Amino acid sequence: MERNEADVTTAVAPTPALTAADRCDRCGAQAYLRVELQSGGELLFCAHHAREHGDKLRQVAVTVVDETHKLSTPAPGSQA
């Protein structure tokens, strides 16, 4: 008997970088932290709320994408 099944991989697509369109779930400011939860959901936080809730978030997160370093790095083309 011939089986017609697709090959399946467990590879995970890379998480896209945060953009100016990504907003904090607490206050609506630009998000710099993405937290992927064990339940499959995700939360986005600005730098302020990332600092405020960071320790607890890391306890419940599967992955954390922290881009708060962008706040101290000059934007391309800007004069420092």
pLDDT, one tens digit per residue, over 5-37 is: 555 555 556 678 899 999 999 999 999 999 999
Overall domain count for the chain: 1
Query: Does a structural domain hold residue 36?
Result: yes
Query: Does a structural domain hold residue 11?
Result: no
- In sequence order, the β-bridge partners of residue 63 are 36
Query: Does a structural domain hold residue 40?
Result: yes
Confidence of residue 61 (pLDDT cuts 50, 70, 90): very high
Cβ atoms 33, 25 nearer than 8 A = no
Predicted TM-score of the model (pTM)? 0.71
Query: Does a structural domain hold residue 29?
Result: yes
Confidence of residue 76 (pLDDT cuts 50, 70, 90): confident
Cβ atoms 80, 54 nearer than 8 A = no
What domain range is 44 assigned to?
19-66
Query: Does a structural domain hold residue 41?
Result: yes
Lookup: tokens for 50:
């990332």
Helix, strand, coil percentages for the chain (3-state, nearest 5): 20, 20, 55
Query: Does a structural domain hold residue 24?
Result: yes
Query: Does a structural domain hold residue 49?
Result: yes
Tell me which H or E stretch contains 49: helix 47-60
